[in-house]
Every structure is written in C-alpha cells, then in structure tokens.
Amino acid sequence: MPTSNALRIRVLLAKDMPFGPGKADLLEAIRETGSIAAAGRRLGMSYQRAWDLASAMNTHFREPVLAPAKGGSRGGGSALTPFGEEVLAAYREIEARAAEACADRLDWFRRNLAP
C-alpha cells in the first residue's frame, strides 16, 4: 500500500460511485488475508464497513471483483476475481502515473513543509 505522503487519487466513475485509496487498500488486504473481516481489521474498519465497500464494488462493476473462497477447516473467505485483480492494477497504475506526472510539484510541497 502506498505511504501516507504519497499522492492519493479518487476516481469518480459515475454518480455516487467513487473508487479510491480506501477501496484499493481493502482489495489488497482481502487478497493478502483471504477474508473481508480480516482485511477490515487490518485497515481499522468495522466488518460492516468492509462488507459494504466490498458489496458496492461487486455491484458497481460489470463483473464481480470479489468471490467467495472455498473454506477449509476455518470456513470460507473471499478472494479477488481475475477482474478484481484488473480493477486494482488499473487503479494503482493511475496512482503511479499521476505521481510521476506530478513528482516535481509534490517535491516542492515536501520541501516547503514546516520542520
């Protein structure tokens, strides 16, 4: 996940349909933990908030970004679909390109912060 002083982009895909750092971080955390609940805990958000964001992403895109994962002894979980991986990669690429394009101005801001 990007550092706190990185350029953070929110893309307004449609009315009431933003995709930004919170959703991208949630997708990464779900990929790493295999669970919406564990991802929410890792990011300091309630299960309900994590579930609501995940559900919204599955509703807003033409394909699901998350799917149930087959459970083992501890039950199921969630996993990114191939389309979810594409969504996350596209967003991270937008962030990286924007940061590269704005690098000189971001450096200016950093140089002018109070000690």
Q: In the chain, what are the domains?
A: 19-111 (1.10.10.10)
Residue 2 pLDDT class (50, 70, 90 cuts): very low
Global pTM exceeds 0.75: yes
Q: What is the DSSP letter of 82?
A: H
Kindly state the tokens that stand for 39: 């991802």
Give the Cα separation of 77 and 38 in Å (integer): 9
pLDDT in tens, 51-93: 999 999 999 999 999 998 876 556 679 999 999 999 999 999 9
Beta carbons within 10 angstroms of residue 80's beta carbon: 20
